Amino acid sequence: MEALKEVDFAIPGQISHYKGKVRDVFQLEDGRLMMVTSDRISAFDVILPRAIPYKGQVLTAIAARFLEQTNDIVPNWLESVPDPQVMVGKACEPYRVEMVIRAYLTGHAWRVYRDGGRELCGVRLPEGLKEHDRLPEPIITPATKAEEGHDEDISREEIIRQGIVPEEDYLTLERYTKDLFKAGTAFAAERGLILVDTKYEFGALDGRIMLIDEIHTPDSSRYFYAEGYEQRQENGRAQKQLSKEFVREWLISEGFQGREGDRMPNMDDSRVRSISERYIELYEILMGDPFPRDSGEKPLKERITGNIQQFLMDSSTALG
């Protein structure tokens, strides 16, 4: 199984190239962005040493589906998907916060709570909760976007006080976040899943707020299986989940949390295959279709670059 770890090819007409933890983003001379989703995987803001076959394809397909389905809630950046790992769309000016919304006491929120914290990003948490309990209502716990290192929790009040996002815009981001989460929760329920928490990123274009990046993917979201959730909570058993959290849990069990001095555990072929299959499983549940595995007729990079070149040629012809 091939995997795309490094996007080490040039895009015709590119004027800049930004390498993120997972995605490589190219600014094109026609003003659009081209986003190539690699198969890299990160946890605790650290890129793991091995790429995961099909991961980029899973993320791209799920993101494209949900961007299309939520365009009536908030306009978004996406215009075209010329390859299973490539998206093209409008270049927006990103807001420097991630809008994280949580409906359950899980992951980072649980770790804060377990260690005695009863406030997260300025939001008070009730007493007497245990891991994976549903919160009285979804809460928004923003994080500042760090180009390097760890994102940091921040409150609504601090975002506005520091001028990171104008107050009027921030209130709109909150409204969009709640509406998107409501839609994602309803869709997940139809598939027998619980949307536990997720994050959204927004940008501005010509005075309009736009949804950017990805949405409701296993990298940006956490899902539980709905069937058996209550029984597992009552019995104190771990929740069955489909998300990247199982990767974080494995790393934690091996003593790695991205802290200085932590040593990255070995990722053997079996571990890589199991992570790949979990991503494919979530795709098939969310999308309701079998996952279209690459036939392998062309090497992965040759397929991607060929599809990009054809798309750019077709776009040039259409513009001409």
In the chain, what are the domains?
14-93+270-319 (3.30.200.20), 97-249 (3.30.470.20)
Average pLDDT value for residue range 285-309: 91
Q: How confident is the model at residue 106 (pLDDT cuts 50, 70, 90)?
A: very high
How does pLDDT run across 8-57, given as a tens digit for each residue? 988 988 999 999 999 999 999 988 999 999 999 998 889 999 999 999 99
Three-state helix/strand/coil letters over the chain? CCCCCCCCCCCCCEEEEEECCCEEEEEECCCEEEEEECCCCEECCEECCCCCCCHHHHHHHHHHHHHHHCCCCCCECEEEEEECCEEEEECCEECCEEEEEEEECCCHHHHHHHCCCCEECCEECCCCCCCCCEEEEEEECCEECCCCCCCEECCHHHHHHCCCCCHHHHHHHHHHHHHHHHHHHHHHHHCCEEEEEEEEEEEEECCEEEEECCCCCCCCEEEEECCCHHHHHHCCCCCCEEECHHHHHHHHHCCCCCCCCCCCCCCCHHHHHHHHHHHHHHHHHHHCCCCCCCCCCCCHHHHHHHHHHHHHHHHHHHHC
Inter-axis angle of helices 269-287 and 245-253, to 10 degrees?
150
Q: How would residue 156 be classed by pLDDT, with cut points 50, 70 and 90?
A: very high
CA distances from 66 to 28, 33, 167 (A): 24, 19, 27
Amino acid at 184: G
And the tokens for 135? 């919160």
- How far is it, in rounded angstroms, from Cα 215 to Cα 217? 6
Mean pLDDT of 297-306: 92
pLDDT classification of 320: cutoffs 50, 70, 90: very low
What are the tens digits of pLDDT across the range 190-249? 999 999 999 999 999 999 999 999 999 988 999 999 999 999 999 999 898 877 778 888
Average pLDDT over residues 102-128: 96
For residue 294, give the nearest of 78, 55, 48 by alpha carbon. Answer: 55
pLDDT tens digits, one per residue of 232-274: 999 999 898 877 778 888 999 999 999 999 999 999 999 999 9
pLDDT at 242: 77
pLDDT value of position 255: 94
Is residue 58 left, alpha or beta, with left meaning phi > 0 and alpha meaning psi from -120 to 50? Answer: alpha
Selection from 179, 182, 195, 230 nearest residue 73 by Cα: 179
What whole-number percentage of the chain has pLDDT above 70?
97
pLDDT-derived band at 292, boundaries 50, 70, 90: very high
